[in-house]
Amino acid sequence: MYQEIHPESACAQYQISVCYSILAKSEPDSHTFVKADVYRASFKFGVFNAIQSICFDDVTSSYPTVAPTGSGKTVLFELAIIRLLMESGTGARATKCVYMAPTKALCSERFREWTTKFEVLGVKCCELTGDTVQFGKSAWGDAKNATIMYGEKWDSLTRHWRDYGQILSQVQLFMVDEVHILNESRGSTLEVVISRMKTRGTSVRFMMVSATVPNIGDIASWVGSRNKTGPAKIFQFGEEFRPCKLTKFVYGVPRHRNQNDFAFSASLDKHLFPVLQQHSVNKPVLVFVATRRGVLVTAEHLAAEYERASQAKKPLPWSQPRNATSAELASVGIGVHHAGLSMDDRRATEHLYMEKILRLVVATSTLAVGVNLPAHTVVIRGVKMYQTDGYKEYSDLDIVQMMGRAGRPQFDKEGIAIILCETELEAKYRDLVQGKTVLESCLHQNLSEHLNSEVGLGTITDVFTAKEWLYNSFLFQRLQRNPSHYAIGKTTGQSWQERLDEMVLHSVTALKDSELLEYDGDDDSGSLRSTEYGDIMSKVILITTTQLSMLIKRRRRSVLCASSDGQSLQICIPSSNHPVYNRLREHEDIRFKIKKVEKPADKVFLLIQAVLGGIPLNSSDFKSSDSQPPLDALSVFRHVGRIARVVVEVSLVKKYGAQIKFGLELMLLNRRPPFGHEVLACLAELPRYILTITEQAITSRGGKGPVNVEILVECGLASDQASHAPKPKKNKARRGDMTAILTLTSDLDFVDFRRISTKALTASKSFSVTADLTKPSQSIHVYIASESIAGVTVLKMYKPQINATEFPVVNTRPLNSVEADLQGLEDDPNFWYTASDEEDKQEDKPVKDLTKPNGGLLSSSLLDNRC
């Protein structure tokens, strides 16, 4: 036996000594014994704690584990990884594991820990988040064994299952941290990727960890056991298993009638100091505030309250620093911490707090994850923060993470977490801290988006398979148990099965109406196929409303507005820095002015223009204590490139010449530093294009129609480039460089577009292009450009040498009101055929075609033919 019982405390009632045989089964053979011994040094402690000991057999054997809570969860993940490594060592097939967490900070923390721990064993880890630059197969190549990411990134990768199918099939272990985010708006993405791995994965083992929730059994039923014979196995642990006891308090604060969210948030400050006097017991305090400006206001208010309490000889929440120099630096022991401060200032605050020079720190959620600080008491001052479309409550995950900063085991034996909120929300947060909040699915809130991606993947082929896919979701589990939450019962006699069918049909209809989906038939057997727009939306993960706005906007300002859409970028810029952005909007280099900065989209719109226009955002004109536009711009430009690519792809489908040109410009200019230096260093490597145009034929109708011209386009690379250019270092990103060849008229009307590998142009290529010219002033413009390198575009123009009389006479007569209304409808067959069967029998009469410039008449026979 390898168990050693230590009955001294409840938290140590079942502990396993970390000896050489812990990773072996009950009767290990010598081969397993040796392999287990290799991993023994991965654990830097003498015994596993109670939670790890209880879960040990199941984590290291063949059973799935769902939602153990409390402390030591990282060790459980590590044991599962080690088991996978031991099993993969005996087989020829390569295996991988995926760890998924809801935040970038948690992913980065886990990546650093596991790289340090497992790299010596030859295990390679890879981090894939929105902040990493790795993508595609190069990232998978680095991730030999383990990949760490958040849900949205995995969703993006698995939407290209056909491209990465061989690699994705190697995933044998799928670990999900903080699975209780299923209850939040982002939870639908997590739900979809887990269902996708269940459907498309090969014998994938799932391991999930959650905060305490009463319906964890629903998740177990949804995930199922590995052999699909029943629910997954559950381990649940109460607060008594925490290594550091955490006492939680929720205080409701009355809210005055007609008091808005901003005013109520500010009023919480006067309730804060009395709460600290009651609970802080002269130990370090951490106060979370929603905004950067609020951090400063709250810190100033607490400092003033502290001075008044000190002068009045009242009880103080913490003692003042004794060292004179420290007291001068820290005043009354209060510090601030938020993303608007420089990195040096933030690190200084963390250091002074660790040294107990600062006794209270007021911070935004920047301290909710990452650095472990010795906070005994945590106060969440208000449960709402300003987001893209107004004040909204923190997610449950944010609340749990902030409370979790109190009472860290390495600094304390207990901690206190306090929530200040509206009286109306007091009961909700009491249920949350006591683990009584029931997890519900959010998939129904954006079902159309995920349905579209599954159609593109081929998982869904008709309405019947769409319903089957939904039966395999967490939504299906909750729909049966809590139908009222999903609006069942609003229609008389509607069952949950009927509600589920209604959800599917409603989403299919919405996608069809948005031109994202083709639906043949009106029953379950009708086939579903993605349109070109649906494929684009799925590949870049855009919501439907943004996609539709892209389809109809053609002007350059509209392209920028669409790229600035805060909903698709999912960026929240603090509301406290309006003055900075109001100064920025008045800058002379801002080309497209706005009257007032009100929404986050307005700020994104200005930041894009400022960066592209070379406005120095580091200037003192745009600096304030709670605002850093350069950091905001960095966040924006992590996403803008993908939006610009959508502009190009949608425009190619629509054949919008001007929009393709503007979108390509945005794509090329969206580069992070040190892009400019790299371009200069690799100048000899840049492609030098050769482009020639030769006239082939001109067809004229003597002024009765447009002049048709045919030209031969020849393109290639300079002949001396390959032979004389210095050999550059290997550049993986440059291997697949593509060249775009765009042909427009001088009026920016679309003529032709082609895409070819740059490497293929070492041998000259040629093709013919035909175009119709309607004015003597028109010419043809041919652009050849790299899709990833700016500044190498070559333009050639062609204008036919032909008499102006060969072109049709331009009708300059302005349209009357009726003609204006009918303009553009002549190509719509539904417009021409409006008569009923009875009206068809009436005598045909000539109809004036108001959409034709000459106002000519069309006979009824022509109308019939056109219909």
> pLDDT tens, 351-388?
888 888 888 899 988 787 766 788 899 999 999 887 76
Element (H, E) at 451: helix 447-457
Helix (H) or strand (E) holding 185: none
Predicted confidence (pLDDT) per residue in 126-135, tens digit: 888 766 655 4
Q: What is the pLDDT of residue 417?
A: 92
Q: Are 433 and 239 in contact (CB under 8 A)?
A: no
Q: What is the DSSP letter of 663?
A: H
What is the arithmetic mean of pLDDT over 628-633?
79
Phi, psi of 362 (to 5 degrees): -100, 125
Query: For the segment 456-483, what is each residue's pLDDT rounded down to a tens digit?
Result: 888 888 888 898 899 889 998 888 888 8
How does the average pLDDT of the chain come out, rounded? Answer: 75
Amino acid at residue number 34:
V
Q: In the prediction, which pLDDT does 818 show?
A: 78
pLDDT beyond 80 at 527? yes
Q: How far apart (Å, rounded) are the C-alpha atoms in residues 748 and 510?
A: 33
How far does CA 700 lie from the centroid of its chain?
Answer: 53
Percentage of the chain modeled with pLDDT above 90: 13
What's the distance, CA 789 to chain centroid? 26
Q: Which pLDDT band holds residue 142 (cuts at 50, 70, 90)?
A: low
Nearest CA-CA partner of 317 in 287, 353, 352, 281? 281
Distance between start and end Cα atoms, the chain: 86
Number of other residues whose CB lies within 10 A of the CB of residue 270: 11
Higher pLDDT, 866 or 625: 625
Q: According to the model, what pLDDT value does residue 30 have?
A: 37
Query: Can you give the residue ranges of every domain in the chain?
Result: 3-241, 245-433, 443-540, 683-724+737-806, 817-866
Q: Is the pLDDT reported for residue 518 higher than 50?
A: yes
> What span, in angstroms and rounded, lies between the C-alpha atoms of 346 and 342?
6
Confidence tier at 813 by pLDDT (50, 70, 90): confident
Predicted local distance difference test score (pLDDT) of residue 715: 94
The listed CATH number (3.30.565.10, 3.40.190.10, 1.10.10.10, 1.10.260.40) that belongs to domain 443-540: 1.10.10.10
Q: Indicate the range of 70-74, 291-295, 507-511 predicted with least confidence.
A: 70-74
pLDDT-based confidence at 419, cuts 50/70/90?
A: very high
843 pLDDT more than 60: no
583-609 pLDDT per residue, tens: 888 888 888 888 888 777 788 888 888
Q: Which of 331-345, 496-510, 726-740 has the lowest mean pLDDT?
A: 726-740
Q: Are 183 and 440 in contact (CB under 8 A)?
A: yes
Structure tokens at 27: 């009767």
| Apex 614 CA angle, 611 and 617, nearest 5 | 65
What tokens were used for 186? 């982002």
Identify the band that residue 137 occupies on the pLDDT scale cut at 50, 70 and 90.
Answer: low
Which pLDDT score is estimated for 856?
Answer: 44
Instruction: State the alpha helices, DSSP H only, in 102-183.
Output: 104-118, 136-142, 151-158, 161-168
Q: Each residue of 722-772: pLDDT tens digit?
A: 444 444 444 544 556 899 999 999 999 999 999 999 989 989 999 999 999
Structure tokens at 435: 């683990």
Q: Among 3.40.50.300, 3.40.50.1100, 3.10.20.740, 3.20.20.60, name the CATH number for the domain at 3-241.
A: 3.40.50.300
> Which stretches within 482-624 are classed as H helix?
496-513, 532-540, 544-552, 556-563, 566-569, 578-585, 600-612
For 245-433, which CATH class? alpha beta
Residue 193: is its pLDDT beyond 60?
Answer: yes
492: pLDDT confidence band, cut at 50, 70 and 90?
low
Residue 34's pLDDT is 40
pLDDT at 308 over 90: no
Are 210 and 219 in contact by the 8 Å Cβ rule? The answer is yes
Q: Could you tell me which residue, 78 or 857, shows the higher pLDDT?
A: 78
pLDDT class of 637 with cuts at 50, 70, 90 = confident
Cβ atoms 434, 176 nearer than 8 A: no
* Structure confidence at residue 93 (pLDDT): 61
Mean pLDDT of 418-446: 89
Contact status, residue 406 vs residue 433, Cβ threshold 8 Å: no
Mean pLDDT score, 797-811: 87
Give the Cα separation of 266 and 391 in Å (integer): 13
Tokens 């000190």 locate to 310
Q: How far apart are alpha carbons 351 and 651 in whole angstroms?
A: 52
pLDDT tens sequence across 219-266: 888 888 766 677 888 877 766 667 778 889 999 999 888 888 888 888
pTM of the model: 0.68
Provide mean pLDDT across the span 335-355.
82
User: Higher-confidence residue: 324 or 520?
Assistant: 520
Q: pLDDT at residue 322 above 90? A: no
Domains 3-241 and 245-433 share a fold: yes
- Give yes or no for residue 719 having a pLDDT over 80: no
Residue 178: C-alpha distances to residues 27, 190, 194, 843 (Å): 34, 11, 14, 73
Q: What pLDDT is stored for residue 21 in this prediction?
A: 29
pLDDT at 329 over 60: no
For the chain, what percent of residues have pLDDT higher than 70? 71
Architecture of domain 683-724+737-806: Sandwich (2.60)
| Model confidence at 46: pLDDT above 80 | no
